[in-house]
Amino acid sequence: MGTASQVKDLLPYRLTVPATDPDSRPCPTQAGVAAVERSNDQVADLLQEYADLIAITGGDAFKVRVYEKAARSVGGYARDISGMGLGELRGIPNVGASIAAKIDEFLHTGAIHQLEELRTKIPAGVRMLTVIPSLGPKKAVTLYEELGIDSIDSLEAAIRAGLLHGLHGFGPKTEENLLHGIELMHKASERVDLGVGMGIAEEIVTALRQVPGCERCVYAGSLRRMKDTVGDIDVLATSREPATLMEAFTRLPSTGEVIAHGDTKTSIRTVAGLQVDLRVVPADSWGAALQYFTGSRAHNIRTREIAVHKKLKLSEYGLFDVATGEKIASTDEADVYGRLGLPWIPPTLREDNGEIEAALRGELPPLVTEDDLRGDLHTHTNLTDGLAPLEEMAAAAAERGYAYLAVTDHAPDLYMQRMTDEKALAQRERIRTLDGNFRGMRLLHGTELNIGPEGTVDWPPEFLAGFDLCVASLHSYFTQSREETTRRLLRACENPHIKIIGHPTARLIGRREPVDADWDAVFTACACTGTALEIDAFPDRLDLPAELARRALGKGVRFAIDSDAHAVPHLANMRYGVGTAQRGWLTTDQVINTWPLDRLLRFLQEGRQ
DNA sequence: GCCGTTTTCGGCCCGACTGTTTTCAGTCG
C-alpha cells in the first residue's frame, strides 16, 4: 500500500466510487446497508488527482508527495470529515493550513478552484495515461507535449503507427511494455473488483429503496456470489409502482447513459462505465427471481435440469408443475430449492463446482461467516506504512467485537518502511502495556516479514522467537521461475516461526498476475509444517484466490482470513475475505482466526521451541 | 506543502530495477 498503488487506484471507475465504504456494516444479508460515499473518499480522490497534476506539470516532487500523503490520511481517517471545521481538519495527519483550506472549500462549494485551474491545463486523458504500468507522469507529459497524445487509445495508435520512434527515452522495449500494459488495462476495464462493484451496487440499492413504492431491492448476480471481479451488476426489486422505480433508476447521479428502458428491465451504464441492470419482478416471484438472477448460469442449468426430471419447470417466475401449470414455489429461495429436493445453497457456492452433488448428499459445508471471526491476524499501524496509530487500530478492532488482534507491521527488509529492531521492541512494550485496555481484546505482537528471493526473511530465529506471530509475504521478485518461487515459499513454510503466509500469490486484481508456483507442493508443505495460508481480504487482492483455497483445503491446510488493514476503514474489508473463503468452501474448523484464543495460541506456538 | 526531543527552516522513505543511456532518468514498492 504505497503511493504507487494509490496512483494505480485511479482506474476510471475509482474516480467516482470508492473501493470500500467504511461506514457500511458487514452485512451479507444486505439488511440496513448504508452506502453513501463518504466525503473522505471524494476528498482523497481529489487530493490524489491534484498530486498527479502537480507531478505532470513538473511541480515540486515533495509537494506531490505531501498531497499523496494527505489523500491517504483523509481516505483512511476514521471519522467522516463532512461537517468538520478548519481546525478539526488540520488535526488530520498531513493536513496543514493549505490543504485544510482546500478541503473546506470542497465541503462548502463542491469544488477546489486550484484543482479546477490545473484541470484546464492538462487533459484528463493525459493523467489517465499514468494508469498504465511503467508509464509515469514524466513519460506521460513527454507523450503529450511531443506528440499530442492525450488518451490511452491515441497512445496505442501512435505506438502501432511507429510515431514513438526516435522519441527520447522511448526505446523498443518501452514500446513493448506500454502495449502490454494497455492490453492489461483493456482486460481489467471490462470487469471491476469486488470492492468497487459492491460500492456501486450498495449505493444504487440504497437509493432505490428510498423511492416511493419500492418494497424490496437487493443486488444479485456475481456480486452476491462474491466473485472476485464483476462484469456488471444485477439489481432485483419489487415495487407497487414499477414505472416510478425505473424512472428513478435512470435519473440516479451515478447513471451515465440509459442503454435500455422497459417495463420490467432497465439497463444503464454508470458514469464510470459499468453496466447495471434493474429488474422489477412481481412480489410473489421474489424467491424464484432471486435464485435465477443470482446464477451462476451453470448452477441454474443444473437446477433446471433437476426440475425437469421431477416433471417441473423452473423459471424466474417460479417452480411450476408441467402437467397442471400449477405454481409450486416462488416467493422464497429456500422454498424453491426445497421443492427441488435440495437444501438452500449459499450464493457463494453456486458455480456448479460440486455444490449440487454435495447438496443432494446432504453434505454442504457449514461455511465460515463473518460472525465466526474472532480476530484479525494481519494489520498495520503508522509505525510502518499504516495510517492509524496502534491505539486507534486496536480500539476499532475491539469495536468490531474481536477477541484478539495481531499487529503485524513490516520488517526491516522492506527498506522503505524504516523498521528497526528497536522500533519493533518498543512496539512490543507498548502492546504489552495496552493489552487488556480494549474491551478485554487480546493484543498480539506480530510482524509481516518479507520473503526474500531465496526464501529467507528479515530477522534471525532468535529475534523472531520474540513475536507472538510471524506472517511472511512476497513483496518483490514476482517474475521468478516456478521452481524458484516454489522453493522460496517452501523455505518460508519450513521456518518454524512463520505461521502464516500472507497474500500468497501476490496478485493485484487487474494489475499484477499471480506468481507462478507449484501450488500443490506449497499446500503439502503448509499442511506438514502447520503453516496457515492467508486469505487477504483487500478487494484488489483476495489472495489466496478461492480456487486455490479450495485446492489447499483438500490437502489439509489451515487458513487465516485477514484484513491486511493499513487504516481503520480497511478492517471492514473482512467481508470480502469471508466471501472468498466461502467460495473456497472453508468452514470454521480450517480458519484459525475463528478459533478461541487458547486454541489459536497453541497453534502459533507449535514447533517453535 | 507539511512537520518539529533537529521546531519557523531545511529536510522530506530511498534502494532496486529497467531500459535507456555512456553515466542516468523514470518508475515502482
Question: Which 168-197 positions of A have CB less than 7 A from strand B?
Answer: 168-175, 177
For residue A26, name the pLDDT band (cuts at 50, 70, 90): very low
Write out pLDDT tens, residues A367-402: 999 999 999 999 999 999 899 999 999 999 999 999
pLDDT, position A180: 83
Alpha carbon distance, N-terminus to C-terminus of chain A: 34
Instruction: With CA atoms as reference, report the closest residue to A272 among A239, A230, A323, A210.
Output: A230
Judged by C1' against the alpha carbon of A167, the nearest nucleotide is B20
Q: What is the CA A403 to C1' B1 distance in angstroms?
A: 41
Give the sign of the dihedral formed by CA A84, CA A88, CA A92, CA A96.
Answer: positive
Superfamily of domain covering A192-280 = Beta Polymerase, domain 2 (3.30.460.10)
Write out pLDDT tens, residues A430-451: 999 999 999 999 999 999 999 9
Judged by C1' against the alpha carbon of A101, the nearest nucleotide is B1
* Contact status, residue A503 vs residue A5, Cβ threshold 8 Å: no
The percentage of residues in chain A with a pLDDT greater than 70, rounded to a whole number, is: 93
Judged by C1' against the alpha carbon of A173, the nearest nucleotide is B19
The answer to whether the beta carbon of residue A7 comes closer than 7 angstroms to any atom of strand B is yes
Burial of A40 per CB tally in 10 Å (0-12, 13-18, 19+):
buried
pLDDT, position A427: 95
Higher pLDDT, A101 or A28: A101
Question: Which 268-297 positions of A have CB less than 7 A from strand B?
Answer: none
For residue A579, name the pLDDT band (cuts at 50, 70, 90): very high
Q: Tell me how far apart the alpha carbons of residues A159 and A147 are, in angstroms, rounded to a whole number.
A: 11
Judged by C1' against the alpha carbon of A175, the nearest nucleotide is B19
Q: Which CATH code is given to the segment(s) A39-189?
A: 1.10.150.110
Question: Which 30-89 positions of A have CB less than 7 A from strand B?
Answer: 60, 62-63, 65-67, 70
Domain ranges of chain A: 39-189, 192-280, 285-361, 368-605
Among A111-115, A168-172, A536-540, which is the least confidently predicted range? A168-172
Mean pLDDT calculated for residue range A96-105:
95
Question: Which 121-150 positions of A have CB less than 7 A from strand B?
Answer: 130, 133-140
pLDDT, position A261: 84
Write out pLDDT tens, residues A395-431: 999 999 999 999 999 999 887 678 999 999 999 999 9
Q: What is the CA A450 to C1' B13 distance in angstroms?
A: 17
Decide: helix, strand or coil at residue A472. strand
Is the pLDDT at A34 greater than 90? The verdict is no
The answer to whether the beta carbon of residue A95 comes closer than 7 angstroms to any atom of strand B is yes
Write out pLDDT tens, residues A193-245: 899 999 999 999 999 999 999 999 999 999 999 999 888 899 999 998 888 99
Instruction: Give this prediction's pTM.
Output: 0.78
Judged by C1' against the alpha carbon of A69, the nearest nucleotide is B2
Which residues are CB-contacts of A365 (< 8 A; sequence separation ≥ 6)? A358, A585, A586, A587
Cα dihedral value A38, A43, A46, A48, nearest 10:
-100
Q: Output DSSP code: residue A572.
A: G
What mean pLDDT is reported for chain A? 88
pLDDT, position A134: 82
pLDDT, position A188: 61
What helix, strand, coil percent values describe chain A, rounded to 5? 45, 15, 40
Q: Tell me how far apart the alpha carbons of residues A390 and A395 are, in angstroms, rounded to a whole number.
A: 9
The answer to whether the beta carbon of residue A96 comes closer than 7 angstroms to any atom of strand B is yes
Is the pLDDT at A484 greater than 60? The verdict is yes
**Highest mean pLDDT of the ranges A90-99, A183-192, A437-446:** A437-446
Q: What is the CA A509 to C1' B22 distance in angstroms?
A: 39
Is the pLDDT at A597 greater than 50? The verdict is yes
**Cis-peptide, bond into residue A544, ω within 30° of zero:** yes
pLDDT, position A37: 62
The answer to whether the beta carbon of residue A208 comes closer than 7 angstroms to any atom of strand B is no
Is domain A285-361 in CATH 3.30.210.10, yes or no?
Answer: yes
Is the pLDDT at A464 greater than 70? The verdict is yes
pLDDT, position A339: 92
Judged by C1' against the alpha carbon of A8, the nearest nucleotide is B28
Q: What is the CA A416 to C1' B14 distance in angstroms?
A: 6
pLDDT, position A342: 93
Decide: helix, strand or coil at residue A190. helix
Mean pLDDT calculated for residue range A63-76:
86
Closest amino acid to nucleotide B29 (CA–C1'): A2
Judged by C1' against the alpha carbon of A141, the nearest nucleotide is B26
Is domain A368-605 in CATH 3.20.20.140, yes or no?
Answer: yes
Judged by C1' against the alpha carbon of A511, the nearest nucleotide is B28
Q: Tell me how far apart the alpha carbons of residues A472 and A500 are, in angstroms, rounded to a whole number.
A: 6
The answer to whether the beta carbon of residue A418 comes closer than 7 angstroms to any atom of strand B is yes
Mean pLDDT calculated for residue range A97-116:
95
Which bases in strand B are touched by protein, i.e. have an atom under 7 Å from a CB?
1-3, 11-15, 17-21, 25-29
> What is chain A's length?
609
Judged by C1' against the alpha carbon of A138, the nearest nucleotide is B26
Write out pLDDT tens, residues A516-560: 899 989 999 999 999 999 999 999 999 999 989 998 999 999 999
Is the pLDDT at A22 greater than 60? The verdict is no
